[in-house]
Structure 1
């Protein structure tokens, strides 16, 4: 029996994905996760997971940083990115960082089923209408290397780094995570070394590089 995690904060879209999976796979156990932290729990609190359908914009995912984190912790699990962001550059970056495929949230049930069936057959999948544009995008080796380095951080280091990127000071991070301030400083030293940066500003910029703007937010800002 296959075990699949549907990681998305929208209940209606989780239901649509569940329907597509049920229609495609005969023997499957579905687990749902409304945020990134729950997704990580689903991957560690039970039997091995075969596939994660990951919403890049769900709470805690922080765009491609979440994909990098998940791939770093669980490289053996296939991950398909699910997103309303259909920018070919974003899709190219996700694939370069190890995603097995990309499913747009505009996809219908038939397309969802085809995507899931293709990935479970160990083939990558991108919507046909976007394939040429994605292929035309050049791989960014620097982005892929950064994603790999972030993926190698410990869970606590990742939490510290995400808060540094949000502009929190060491004392705020310590209070937020319930740890000593000197522990935060120790984590920061290790983060600097792993990311190849010299200060918290550079560390925050590196993390932000993997974040994405929701398409709706981009329209509102424009």
Structure 2
């Protein structure tokens, strides 16, 4: 994989709360991402992964209406997903379930400052 820190990435944010999605999007713009897509549900994320993928990084909110984040992660993994999946929740109790479903990292929603998002994206670039 290209290790250039300026390598643009294709990123998907799966978040049903618009303010959180916009926060993530703004943080990712600081990271030279090629494109930043937003899905408002797990179902929409799966469809976008099929039609617009592959995404290099997917940030998935775990608590959403309809298909939740854990189910979304499981479906992405069943599609032979090779991108990096970051599960996000304010509920620390969901960490183990998210990791068991196939998430590569858990980000506590109340503690994810821009520097953490930037660090995740830069780590993906070096893989």
What TM-score range do you get, normalising by the shorter chain? Answer: 0.7 to 0.9
Unaligned runs of 5+ in 1: 123-222
Indicate the residue corresponding to 1:35 in structure 2: 41
Indicate the residue corresponding to 1:97 in structure 2: 101
CA shift for structure 1 position 118? 2.8
Q: Which has the higher contact order (CA 8 A, sep 6+)?
A: 2
- Equivalence map 1:115-154=2 (5 Å): 115-122=120-127
CA shift for structure 1 position 110? 2.2
CA shift for structure 1 position 82? 1.1
CA shift for structure 1 position 80? 0.8
Q: Would you say the 8 A contact 2:42–2:69 is kept in 1?
A: no
- The whole-number CA distance in structure 1 between the counterparts of 2:108 and 2:124 is 15
CA 1:51–1:45 in structure 2 vs 1: closer, same or farther (change >3 Å)?
Answer: same
Structure with the higher fraction of residues in helix conformation: 1
Question: Larger Cα Rg: Structure 1 or Structure 2?
Answer: 1
Indicate the residue corresponding to 1:147 in structure 2: none
Residue 13 of structure 2 is aligned to residue 9 of structure 1: no
Deviations 1:33-84 (A, max 9, x none): 0111110111111252211111111222335233212211242222110111
Q: Would you say the 8 A contact 2:60–2:69 is kept in 1?
A: no
Normalised by the length of structure 1, the TM-score is 0.48
- The whole-number CA distance in structure 1 between the counterparts of 2:55 and 2:69 is 22
Normalised by the length of structure 2, the TM-score is 0.79
CA shift for structure 1 position 8? 0.2
Unaligned runs of 5+ in 2: 1-7
